[in-house]
Structure 1
Amino acid sequence: MGLLAVHAHPDDETLATGALIASWAAAGRPVTVVTCTRGERGEVIDTPAHPTGLARLEGDGPALAAHREGEVAAAVAALGGGPGAVGQVFLDAADLSDARPTRGPEASGDPGRRPRFEDSGMTWVAPGIAGPADDAPPTAFARVPLDDAAARLAALVRAHRPDVVATYETRGGYGHPDHVRTHEVTTRALALAADPGAAVPGEPWAGAELWQAVASSAALRAGRRALAADPDARTLAARAGLTFPDPDEDLPPLAAHDAELSTGEVRTVDVAPVLDRVLEAMRAHATQVQHASAARAATGLLGWYALSNGVLAPVLAHESYLVSAPVGSSR
């Protein structure tokens, strides 16, 4: 039973689906991570409390991209319990040179051309709505024509023939335009992979469920409260100049699916059995993730980490996924 985990940037595979990847790898199931960009526009953490010596990479897209390629390789090895246990590929490396001519409107340009999909950056265009950075180029992932990216992912789906394809929910977890585009590309790719007439190499594959990463609002708020009450987390925050999230503030889109969690088909993954792997993978993304730690207090909180914003986030006991049946299924 194979898994394809599709993510926008290096580090997303760990932050959004790390326990799923690690659990499947630990069970000996085939897992491949597809990374859509190299995170060229990411901020770089380099502070006295988290010194990486890599501040010079911020703003240097090619250099940061090269460094983050190494970070995602190390993180994937950590999730798999060793090198080679989990595969990883960048989406723009998918080969369409053997694609057959399409019969539909999805053809665009030379199918064998290998573009380079770039981090789009992010700017808020309206409350709760983000778009690519104003200076994002046409090769920015959020601006690439949908089927240019989806055909490449469809080729990977046909090649790997997974039982499950995991990615973000409709609004990309927290609204980043590359995350939103990744959801759109993934759903379109599953349709193309199943279509015998699509300009995609390989035999059609319609056997994959779509798993969208979500969270219970109650669980996320409880995790934030437990985090703020944890004495070790409070000591760390005071020492490192970190802050705590407000448990009563509006939650990101990934937690806006409570009705579906109560009525839809849902899968949960226990994080505790693979917590060490997930934290090790977080630490591999040192330019993006800081202070990944396990909790010692028995509060239901497994641990915490912070991104470049300096806000601690809880590691919850479970990952949750909304499940959609394979394309064409009557389920």
Structure 2
Amino acid sequence: MSDRRLLLVHAHPDDESIQSGLTMAKYVAEGAQVTLVNCTLGEHGEVLVPELAHLAAEHEDRLGPQRLTELTDAMAHLGVTDFRRLGGDGAYRDSGMVWDENGNAAAMDEIDPRAFWRADLLEAANHLVAIIREVRPQVLVTYDEFGNYGHPDHIQAHRVSTYAAALAAVESHRRDLGPAWDVPKIYWTAESASRLREGAAMMAEAGQEMPFQFDLENLPPMFSEDEDLSTAVSSTPEHVQAKLDAMRAHATQITPDGEFFAMGMDLAAITWGTEYYRLAKGRRGPVGESGFEDDLFAGLR
């Protein structure tokens, strides 16, 4: 078992590459054990490849296996060999989402009974308890209580991760799932509001428009002000490239000429070259020149 073990819990294939791809590539390269858990196969994702449109939920409803193939390709780019689905493939289905009147993601009016949003919290948490006790991670990464931007599956992933981490530490809880393990550090994914504003200014100077339309003075909750952030993980150009390649591997969700890469490769590398986190549990480690921790494992005894 590696001396450093990182467990990440994400809702759908592609979430992990967008929000944590750099982090995973960095720690794999450094010899840490990296385990990824996706809670669904993203069956309700939008299909951006015309020749695969027939796989969509509203047509043949066969998108899940395709997204698993894309996830496998993405993990090969990042070097991650231990990636799992919560409860096994198809145990929980993508809940889908709509945009509410405030511009945030929300649950659809009609949800499949198998949807992750409807999952029994204890049942889902116990699936993760078993993984936590097996892997024994020093660091767990998941979403904040708002799921970054309100997607119901992101919110549920936060709830399941939080409950599972608490249950896994209780010696008398479900001894059949393995010896108790108390995860020392828990982080929530986040984005830097100041970095977004700086990027917008850079694009304006270059005569380019922001690919995503944000009100820079009224950003969604996922964009934390810098004083709310605790850790900034950045890495080498090779790891940034691995992240960008992993994002492209999710071909049904992210197009090479789409919004994620609309700013050009140079600026994309800057934009995606640092991943930010908020410390939700544990002892904060030493602060580097950036003003943040620069290592998720910092401060562990």
Query: Matches of 1:121 and 1:271 in 2, distance apart?
Result: 33
> 2:288 matched to which residue of 1?
none
Identify unmatched segments of 5+ residues in structure 1. Answer: 47-51, 95-114, 304-313
The 3 A distance-change label for structure 1 pair 229 and 63 is farther
> 1:89 matched to which residue of 2?
84
> 2:189 matched to which residue of 1?
213
> 2:290 matched to which residue of 1?
none
- Alignment counterpart, residue 248 of structure 1, candidates 216, 221, 225: 216
The 3 A distance-change label for structure 1 pair 61 and 92 is farther
> 2:166 matched to which residue of 1?
191
SS at match of 2:17: helix
> 1:277 matched to which residue of 2?
242
Amino acid of the structure 1 residue aligned with 2:47 = V
2:109 equivalent to 1:141: no
Q: 1:226 offset after TM fit, Å? A: 2.6
> 2:78 matched to which residue of 1?
79
Q: 1:11 offset after TM fit, Å? A: 0.2
- Alignment counterpart, residue 5 of structure 1, candidates 8, 11, 16: 8
SS at match of 2:122: helix
Q: 1:77 offset after TM fit, Å? A: 1.1
2:283 equivalent to 1:288: no
> 1:68 matched to which residue of 2?
67
> 2:296 matched to which residue of 1?
none
- Alignment counterpart, residue 267 of structure 1, candidates 231, 243, 254: 231
Q: 1:144 offset after TM fit, Å? A: 0.9
Query: Matches of 1:41 and 1:6 in 2, distance apart?
Result: 19
Identity level (%): 37
Q: 1:323 offset after TM fit, Å? A: 1.6
Amino acid of the structure 2 residue aligned with 1:321 = Y
> 2:35 matched to which residue of 1?
32
CA offsets, 1:293-330, max 9 Å, x none? 58465xxx344xxxxxxxxxx83432111123359xxx
**Is the 1:224–1:245 contact (alpha carbons within 8 Å) kept by the matching residues of 2?**
no
**Is the 1:167–1:211 contact (alpha carbons within 8 Å) kept by the matching residues of 2?**
yes
Query: Matches of 1:126 and 1:190 in 2, distance apart?
Result: 34
> 1:162 matched to which residue of 2?
137
SS at match of 2:149: coil
Amino acid of the structure 1 residue aligned with 2:9 = V
CA offsets, 1:107-135, max 9 Å, x none? xxxxxxxx720101113455355432222
**Is the 2:95–2:111 contact (alpha carbons within 8 Å) kept by the matching residues of 1?**
yes
SS at match of 1:32: strand
- Alignment counterpart, residue 179 of structure 1, candidates 147, 154, 159: 154
Q: 1:255 offset after TM fit, Å? A: 1.1
Query: Matches of 2:190 and 2:11 in 1, distance apart?
Result: 16
> 1:19 matched to which residue of 2?
22
Amino acid of the structure 2 residue aligned with 1:245 = Q
- Alignment counterpart, residue 225 of structure 1, candidates 201, 213, 226: 201
SS at match of 2:161: helix
The 3 A distance-change label for structure 1 pair 271 and 145 is same
CA offsets, 1:26-49, max 9 Å, x none? 111110110000001111113xxx
> 1:103 matched to which residue of 2?
none
Identify unmatched segments of 5+ residues in structure 2. Answer: 284-300
**Is the 1:3–1:162 contact (alpha carbons within 8 Å) kept by the matching residues of 2?**
yes
Number of equivalenced pairs: 274
Q: Which moved more, 1:20-29 or 1:246-255?
A: 246-255
SS at match of 1:250: coil
TM-score by length of 1: 0.75
Q: Which moved more, 1:58-67 or 1:222-231?
A: 222-231
Q: 1:92 offset after TM fit, Å? A: 1.8
**Is the 1:158–1:202 contact (alpha carbons within 8 Å) kept by the matching residues of 2?**
yes
The 3 A distance-change label for structure 1 pair 244 and 135 is closer
